[in-house]
Amino acid sequence: MTKNAIVLGAGIVGVSAAIHLQRRGRQVTLIDRRDPGSETSFGNAGLIQREGVAPYGFPQQLGLLLRYALNNRIDAHYHFSTLPSQLAFLARYWWNSNARRHAVITRAYAPLIQHSIAEHKDLIEASEAQALIRRDGWIKIFRTQARRDEALAEAALWQNEFGVDYDSLTSADIARMEPDMTGDFAGGIRWRDPWSVLDPHALTSAYRGYFESLGGRFVTGDAASFGPFGSGWKIMTGEGPLEADDAVIALGPWAALATRRLGYSFPLGVKRGYHMHYAAKGDAVLNNWMLDAERGYLLAPMRRGIRLTTGAEFAPLDAPKTPVQLDRAEAVARTIFPLGDRLDPEPWMGARPCTPDMMPVIGKAPRHQGLWFAFGHAHHGLTLGPVTGRVLAELITGEKPFIDIAAYSPERFNP
């Protein structure tokens, strides 16, 4: 008898998990309140970051922390009134970002990243989404020689330990690669391995189409109605009640609330981020995904226009938009590239789900049968969606996961 499964959350992680379960003979229903890829997966930088073996840590240098405290930067912003409620998470995040602990976390985290391109390639080809992908890496540019040298030293270490490939760029290289950019840059790094996505929402939609071609289905529903039922699980959907043997919670930043109703406590923080699309003035062209590393924003030549993305905003998930980082970033970006008019009616905002140890939660719920978790991917949700989907589906169907996922176990927060 075919087992049924439901996947709550139709972002890139949930869609990928649904695909891999459907491939393995489960009858899967994907459930979300909105269309697949419409929340956090909609607004990322569009990078499959094979080079991102080290998760983004909390700054450790006192001088830098004091500069962040001024709350006037592009790469980080916080809501002062809600900061007390976030201090416990931030303190644990800071503690885990210590150099020694961060190195241990990086070695545990890297196997997910190392398989990110191969697992996306599988789904890209299966969903015939090759036209959405570029395979020529991305670039970090630096304004000072010291920051460039520091980044190159780190890149050399990552190349030696994790096999990432990169090119060291001079200011002349940057001028040649981006003739419409201006600025006195000290140089940069081109990461060779990553792939970029011209439309992240379209990629998730393509994966959804492939999932449905396998016999899976998508229905709307609200996770607030989800709960145990007999020996399985039940949820109300737009098509009525739905029961399943197994259930996956892949709700991104909303996972903490959904799991709390079931008796779990995950210290899931939120890093909000913004984007806006722009036209280019005249016949100017941006050729590469480009991070202004010392200012903390990224420019990406996407289908809709040049997407400008910001750093992290530490604020409650449901707080009103405060796109001050976007305004700051736009002002700086216009000094190095001829951006034209804004193309979106208002700034887009999304929320990255983050754990204090910077690793996702992937695995079986400690206190329930048939319940599985896949969330907390922070800045790498797009990158890690397919590899997460595969290892979780292997675990659910009794296969041995193709990589060791013990470090990502839900039991580290809920013994």
Give 302's strand partners.
305
83, pLDDT greater than 90:
no
Q: Is the pTM of this model over 0.95?
A: yes
Q: Grade residue 1 by pLDDT with cuts at 50, 70 and 90.
A: low
- Among 350, 303, 308, 344, which Cα is nearest to 133's? 303
In this prediction, what percent of the chain has a pLDDT beyond 90? 93
Q: Are residues 388 and 16 in contact, defined by beta-carbon separation less than 8 angstroms? A: yes
Q: What is the pLDDT of residue 177?
A: 98
Q: Where are the domains of the chain?
A: 1-57+97-132+195-267+355-415
Q: Which of 81-90, 95-104, 162-171, 238-247 shows the lowest mean pLDDT across its residues?
A: 81-90
Q: What tens digit of pLDDT does each residue of 294-312 get?
A: 999 999 999 999 999 999 9
The per-residue pLDDT for 69 is 83
Q: What is the mean pLDDT of the chain?
A: 96
Nearest to 35 by CA among 221, 210, 213: 221
Distance, CA of 309 to CA of 302 (rounded, Å)? 12
Judged against a pLDDT cut of 70, whether residue 284 lies above it is answered with: yes
Are the CB atoms for 222 and 228 separated by under 8 Å? no
**Does 49 have pLDDT greater than 80?**
yes
CA angle 7, 382, 359 (to 5 degrees): 80
pLDDT value of position 66? 81
Q: Tell me: the pLDDT tens digits for 332-385?
A: 999 999 999 999 999 999 999 999 999 999 999 999 999 999 999 999 999 999
Q: What are the pLDDT digits (tens) for 127-179?
A: 999 999 999 999 999 999 999 999 999 999 999 999 999 999 999 999 999 99
Cβ burial of 46 (10 Å; 0-12, 13-18, 19+) is: buried
Token representation of residue 108: 């545990």
User: Is 90 exceeded by the pLDDT of residue 2?
Assistant: no
List pLDDT tens digits, range 249-278. 999 999 999 999 999 999 999 999 999 999
pLDDT of residue 59: 87
Cα separation of 357 and 144, whole Å?
Answer: 30
Above 70 in pLDDT, residue 95? yes
Whether the CB-CB separation of 329 and 291 falls below 8 Å is answered with no
Does the pLDDT of residue 65 top 80, yes or no? no
We find that the CATH architecture of domain 1-57+97-132+195-267+355-415 is 3-Layer(bba) Sandwich (3.50)
CA distance 184 to 186: 7
Higher pLDDT, 228 or 62: 228
φ, ψ of residue 355 to 5 degrees: the values are -100, 155
Q: Which helix (H) or strand (E) holds 196?
A: strand 195-197
Inter-residue contact 277 to 348 (CB < 8 Å)? no
What is the structure's pLDDT at 368? 97
C-alpha angle 51-317-271 in degrees, rounded to nearest 5: 25
Give me the residue label for tokens 């800071």: 94
